[in-house]
Structure 1
Amino acid sequence: MAKKGIRDRAAPLAHGLAWFYALLLVFPLYFIIVSAFKDNLAIFNSPLSPPSSLSVSHFVDAFQRVELGRALWNSTFITVSAELLTLALAIPASYALARSRGRIAAWCERFFALGFLIPSFAALVPTVLLAIHLQLFQTRAFLIIFLPAGALPLSVILLTQFMRAIPSDLEESAVMDGAGRIRILLRIYLPLTMPGIITIAILNFLSFWNEYLFALILGGPDPAVRTVQVALPNLVSQTNTEYGVLLAGALITMIPVYLVYILLQRRMESALLEGAVKS
Structure 2
Amino acid sequence: MAKNNQGNGKKSKWIMRIILLIATVIFVYPLVWNIIASFKSNEEILDSPWALPTALRFDNFIRAFTEASMGEYILNSFLVTALSMVILLILVVPTAHVLARFDFKGRRFLHNFYMAGLFIQPVYIMIPLFLMMNNLEMLDNRLWLSVVYAAGALPFSVYLLTGFMRSIPKEYEESAAIDGCGYFRTLLTIIAPLAKPGILTVVIFNFFTFWNEYALALVLLSSDEKKTIPVGLANLMEVQRFATDWGALFAGLVLVLIPTVTLYALTQKKLTEGMSMGGLKG
Q: TM-score, normalised by structure 1?
A: 0.87
Provide the C-alpha distance between the structure 2 equivalents of 1:44 and 1:189, rounded to a whole number of angstroms: 57
Q: How far apart are the structure 2 equivalents of 1:182 and 1:204?
A: 25
Whole-angstrom CA distance in 2 between matches of 1:267 and 1:120: 28
Cross-structure match for 2:117: 115
Contact map agreement 2:205 2:271 (CA 8 A) in 1: no
Give, as a single letter, the amino acid of the residue that structure 2 aligns with 1:206: F
How do residues 29-48 of structure 1 correspond to structure 2 at under 5 angstroms?
Answer: 29-48=31-50
Structure 1 unaligned residues grouped into runs of 5+? 272-279
The aligned counterpart of 1:214 is 216
Task: Go from structure 1 to structure 2 and tell me whether the alpha carbon gap of 1:270 and 1:111 turns closer, same or farther (over 3 Å shift).
Answer: closer
Which position in structure 1 is the counterpart of 2:263?
260
Secondary structure of residue in 1 paired with 2:193: helix
Partner of 1:172: 174
Name 1:82's counterpart in structure 2.
84
Which amino acid in the other structure matches residue 251 of structure 2? Answer: A
Number of the residue aligned with 2:64: 62
- Cα displacement (A) at 1:119: 4.5
The Cα offsets for residues 156-198 of structure 1, whole Å up to 9 and x where unpaired, read as 1110011112222332233233332223222332222222211
Deviations 1:125-169 (A, max 9, x none): 222122222222111121121110101011011100111122223
Q: Alpha carbons of 1:40 and 1:127: their partners in 2 closer, same or farther (altered >3 Å)?
A: same
Amino acid at match of 1:242: D
Match of 2:106 in 1: 104
* Cα shift readout 1:30-54 (whole Å, capped 9, x = no counterpart): 0110011123442244333221111
In 1: Cα distance, 2:273 partner to 2:156 partner:
24
Structure 1 residues 68 and 151: CA distance shift in structure 2, 3 A: same
Q: State the match for 2:55 in structure 1.
A: 53
Contact 2:42 2:246 in 1 (8 A): yes
In structure 1, distance between residues paired with 2:104 and 2:81: 36
Aligned 8 A contact 1:61 1:245 in 2: yes
Match of 2:250 among 232, 235, 247: 247
- Residue number among 135, 156, 159 corresponding to 1:157 in the alignment: 159
Cα displacement string for residues 80-131 of structure 1 (whole angstroms, at most 9, x for unaligned residues): 1111110111011000000122551111111111212224443212221222
Unaligned stretches of 5+ in structure 2?
A: 275-282
Mean CA deviation greater in 148-157 or 126-135: 126-135
Structure 2: distance between partners of 1:19 and 1:104: 50
Q: Which residue of 2 aligns with 1:226?
A: 227
Give the direction of change, closer, same or farther, for the CA distance of 1:192–1:23 in structure 2 (3 Å limit).
farther
| Separation in 2, partners of 1:177, 1:270 | 34
Does 168-177 or 136-145 show the bigger shift? 168-177
8 Å contact from structure 1 (residues 34, 48) kept in 2: no
* Distance in 2, Cα, partners of 1:50 & 1:43: 10
Match of 1:131 in 2: 133
For residue 80 of structure 1, give the secondary structure of its aligned residue in structure 2. Answer: helix
Shift of 1:241: 3.3
Amino acid at match of 2:228: T
Q: Distance in 1 between matches of 2:229 and 2:46?
A: 26
State the identity as a percent.
34
Q: Distance in 2 between matches of 1:270 and 1:165?
A: 15
TM-score by length of 2: 0.86
Q: Is the CA contact 2:201–2:270 (under 8 Å) kept in the aligned structure 1?
A: no
Report how many residues are paired: 270
Write the distance in 2 (CA, Å) between the matches of 1:202 and 1:10.
34
Aligned partner of residue 167 in structure 1, secondary structure:
coil
Among residues 129, 144, 148, which one is paired with 1:142 in the alignment?
144
CA 1:137–1:250: 2 relative to 1, 3 Å: same
1-structure distance, mates of 2:265, 2:187: 27
Displacement after TM superposition at 1:261 (Å): 3.1
Deviation readout 1:27-79 (Å, 9 max, x if unpaired): 11101100111234422443332211111121122122232212111111111
Structure 1: distance between partners of 2:202 and 2:21: 27
SS for the counterpart of 2:35 is helix
SS in 2 for 1:239: helix
Amino acid aligned to 1:255: I
